[in-house]
Amino acid sequence: MSSARRCASPWVALALLTGSLAAVAACAPFIEVQRSGGSATLRPHATDFEACAVDEATYRRLVAQWLAERPGSAAALVSLSLGRAVNLPWISRHIADAALLSPGWAERMARATVAGRHELAEPIFRDPLLLARLAAPFEGTPWRVLGLGYEKPLFGRADAHATHAGAGAVLVPFDAQLWLRLAPRD
């Protein structure tokens, strides 16, 4: 190995490490409050160019911290946008798994039109277990989760999106734009 290559090697390693650190920094999720103050958006990354995932523990910690730091004089909360379900893989898997557990899902999905798929997905996004998981960081705060709003659901093969890889080719919802509807706790 030439001395030029040996000398360049630490610089290359540093550049690669610095690039990796930048990617890690870009994947630091945060909550962005909208101008109205009543709505906010969970952002999984600092830029639109990174593919970042937010696990359930991070979601709970981030939302709980945001709520704890929220000034008492702030506007009443009405919504928290969660973005795409695929950026929160635990939600994506939950909706795919819930679809598979829905009685007769495979048969109903096989006969459904595109519009019919959306109708079939509605109770999946209203699953009380999913809502409980999403509402967990709101416990003990002045805010409660009224429900989960969604739009633009996407469907894919269960064996690619559900917990069990052997789930087969049946279509399940795995992604959508999601937001929590919020209200003051009584």
Q: Which of 146, 34, 143, 148 is nearest to 91 (CA)?
A: 148
Check if the beta carbon of residue 109 is closer than 8 Å to that of residue 117: yes
Question: What does the alpha-carbon distance between residue 62 and residue 52 come to, in Å, rounded to a whole number?
Answer: 15
What angle separates helix 89-101 from helix 114-125, to the nearest 10 degrees?
110
Spell out where the chain has E strands.
30-33, 39-43, 79-84, 143-157, 171-184
DSSP secondary structure letter of residue 77 = P
Instruction: Give per-residue pLDDT as tens, 141-153.
Output: 999 999 999 999 9
Cβ neighbours for 57, distance < 8 A, ≥ 6 positions apart: none
| 87 band by pLDDT with thresholds 50, 70 and 90 | very high
Residue 53 lies in domain: 3-184
**Mean pLDDT, range 102-107, rounded to an integer:** 94
Q: Tell me, what's the pLDDT at 46?
A: 72
Q: Can you tell me the distance from the alpha carbon of 2 to that of 164, in angstroms, rounded to the nearest whole number?
A: 51
Q: Which residue has the tokens 């990617």?
A: 23
Give residues with Cβ within 8 angstroms of 171, minimum separation 6.
109, 117, 155, 156, 157, 158
For residue 144, the SS3 value is: strand
- Higher confidence at residue 106 or residue 36? 106
pTM: 0.81
pLDDT at residue 49 in the model: 67
Q: Is the per-residue pLDDT at 82 higher than 90? A: yes
H-helix or E-strand spanning residue 42: strand 39-43
User: How many structural domains is the chain composed of?
Assistant: 1
